[in-house]
């Protein structure tokens, strides 16, 4: 499932691609979305594209009056692809889709805009589309790591009164949004913190290291357009490349980059945890 860096990558690409463009129409091609209310969308103009948690949220307005927002969650296999008119004119729509390993029958929704189409492809059909009259509907419960409020002090407050293992805690979207299994493993390795250590036993120094590692790992992943192991593509149909820089995730029995031992994989509450038992004592 795409995590914060993958969703942020898409948002940063889409903002200049579709910002301020008029929506000609919205086509909902999956029966799961047939009950969505779309009357306010046709003819409206896109005024903002942002990431809220792991959702891509597109706000639209008409005559400067905000009418609502569309929230798209990619889930397991969703892809949100911008197809400019010049690309389909230069080749053909089927050829363009094949080049991006996409199939027309997997297109579940389409925003026809000035200058192109924004298409939601979803092979497994786990992705969601929601429409509301306000973006605030889609605000996540947890704190965003890129919010100005995410300081080391605030992070420590969020961690207080918990007995969970720190790796498990990092996956809690009601506390800190956007971090999934890949980045939780990488963050704790960068901080040299044992993933099984109880949150209650983290020292102030360790809290500071995990806070700093969270920001550095997420920023590095965004710079490399996210991580692709199977399904993820950015809004231009390109793969992420951060998998080339992972230090522990998916590296079971490989040498630790610190040269001190091997990477171990264990199951932790049903999820694979990768760590170095020497570096992360």
Mind telling me the catalytic residues?
2-3, 54, 271
Decide if 194 contacts 281 (C-beta within 8 A): yes
CA 243, 245, 247, 248: dihedral to nearest 10 degrees? Answer: 0
Decide if 99 contacts 88 (C-beta within 8 A): no
Q: Is 28 helix (H, G, I), strand (E, B) or coil?
A: strand
Q: Is 6 helix (H, G, I), strand (E, B) or coil?
A: helix
Decide if 186 contacts 196 (C-beta within 8 A): no
- Distance separating alpha carbons of residues 168 and 195, to the nearest angstrom: 8
CA 72 vs CA 27, 114, 129, 135: distances in Å: 14, 20, 5, 12
Strand partners for 176: 143
Of residues 49, 51, 54, 102, the one with CA closest to residue 75: 54
- Distance separating alpha carbons of residues 5 and 120, to the nearest angstrom: 19
- Distance separating alpha carbons of residues 234 and 245, to the nearest angstrom: 18
Write out the two tokens for 172.
């809690």
- Distance separating alpha carbons of residues 24 and 107, to the nearest angstrom: 18
- Distance separating alpha carbons of residues 133 and 146, to the nearest angstrom: 25
Decide if 227 contacts 221 (C-beta within 8 A): yes
């Amino acid at each position: 499932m795409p995590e914060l860096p993958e969703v942020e990558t898409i948002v940063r690409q889409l903002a200049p691609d579709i910002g301020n463009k008029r929506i000609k129409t919205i086509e909902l091609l999956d029966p799961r979305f047939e009950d969505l209310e779309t009357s306010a969308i046709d003819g409206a103009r896109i005024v903002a594209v942002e990431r809220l948690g792991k959702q891509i949220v597109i706000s639209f307005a008409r005559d400067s009056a905000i009418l609502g927002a569309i929230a798209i969650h990619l889930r397991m296999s969703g892809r949100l692809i911008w197809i400019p008119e010049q690309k389909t004119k230069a080749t053909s729509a089927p050829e363009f889709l094949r080049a991006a390993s996409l199939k027309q029958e997997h297109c579940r929704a389409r925003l026809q805009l000035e200058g192109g189409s924004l298409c939601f492809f979803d092979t497994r059909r786990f992705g969601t589309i929601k429409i509301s009259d306000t973006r605030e509907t889609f605000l996540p419960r947890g704190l965003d790591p890129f919010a100005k409020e995410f300081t080391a002090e605030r992070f420590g407050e969020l961690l207080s009164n918990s007995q969970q293992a720190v790796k498990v805690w990092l996956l809690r979207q009601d506390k800190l949004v956007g971090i999934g299994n890949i980045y939780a493993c990488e963050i704790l390795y960068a901080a040299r913190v044992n993933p099984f250590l109880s949150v209650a036993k983290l020292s102030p120094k360790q809290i500071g290291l995990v806070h700093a590692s969270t920001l550095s790992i997420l920023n590095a992943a965004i710079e490399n357009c996210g991580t692709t192991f199977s399904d993820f593509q950015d809004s231009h149909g390109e793969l992420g490349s951060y998998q080339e820089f992972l230090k522990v995730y998916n590296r079971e029995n490989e040498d630790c980059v610190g040269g001190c031992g091997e990477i171990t994989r264990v199951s932790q509450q049903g999820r694979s945890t990768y760590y170095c038992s020497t570096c992360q004592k």
